[in-house]
């Protein structure tokens, strides 16, 4: 079974351990705990005791939850979570001068509000660009179709002229 947590490295204590008290005749009780690494925990199905303790824990459903079929419900905090190990960018040095950089820069993460705002801005920009393109193409068509303009007459002459006549008129072969 997979469990997800809203915290990066979250440890859940399932059974609190106690020290041995030899005078009273009490034996030591081991602590049973699990740790979420990068917000995920995999528990084997064979460990039914641990699964029951996790499901019956008071933080179940608040701080951690079981895997769900719906991805949106699976981890609603995924857009805000960071990995425990940071990205490393290492710059080589050669005789006191900086060389090339090796490694990847950390990805930029946006929350849901920022993502929605960016999508809306992209839609508006696309609408503006399409509108401008349509106007520009319409102006070109109007310019070519208007017989009063001198440019149109040249275009019509070129379109109606045969290749043999135009080469004889210009004197080029």
- Over range 47-60, report the average pLDDT: 87
What pairs with residue 10 in β-bridges? Answer: 36
Percentage, residues of the chain above pLDDT 70: 71
Looking at the predicted structure, is the pLDDT value of residue 58 above 90? no
Give one DSSP letter per residue of the chain, joined into a string: -EEEESSSSEEEEEE--B--BTTTTBPPB--EEEEEBTTEEE--TT-HHHHHHHHTSTTBTTTEEE--SSHHHH-TTTTT---SSPP-EEEEEETTEEEEEEE-PPPP---HHHHHHHHHHHHHHHHHHHHHHHHHHHHHHHHHH-TTSHHHHHHHHHHHS-HHHHHHHHT--
Spell 126-148 as b/e; 16+ CB within 10 A means b: eeeeeeeeeeeeeeeeeeeeeee
To the question of pTM greater than 0.75 for the whole model, the response is no
Q: Which tens digit of pLDDT belongs to each residue from 23-43?
A: 988 889 888 889 988 778 888
Q: For the CA atoms of 54, 76, 80, 83, what is the dihedral angle to 10 degrees?
A: 40
- Give the per-residue pLDDT at 108: 72
Domain residue ranges of the chain, discontinuous segments joined by +: 2-103, 112-170
pLDDT at 145 over 90: no
């Amino acid at each position: 079974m997979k469990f997800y947590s809203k915290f990066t490295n979250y440890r859940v204590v399932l059974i609190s351990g106690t020290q041995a008290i030899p005078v009273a005749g009490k034996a030591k009780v081991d602590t049973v705990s699990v740790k979420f690494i990068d917000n995920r925990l995999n528990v084997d199905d064979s460990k039914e005791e641990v699964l029951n303790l996790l499901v019956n824990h008071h933080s179940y459903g608040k701080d951690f939850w079981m895997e769900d079929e719906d991805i949106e419900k699976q981890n609603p905090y995924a857009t805000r979570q960071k990995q425990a190990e940071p990205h490393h960018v290492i710059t080589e040095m050669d005789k006191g001068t900086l060389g090339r950089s090796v490694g990847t820069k950390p990805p930029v993460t946006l929350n849901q509000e920022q993502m929605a705002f960016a999508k809306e801005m992209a839609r508006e920009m696309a609408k503006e660009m399409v509108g401008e393109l349509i106007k520009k193409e319409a102006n070109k068509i109007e310019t070519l179709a208007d017989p009063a303009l001198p440019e149109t007459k040249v275009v019509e002459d070129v379109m109606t002229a045969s290749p043999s006549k135009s080469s004889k008129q210009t004197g080029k072969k």
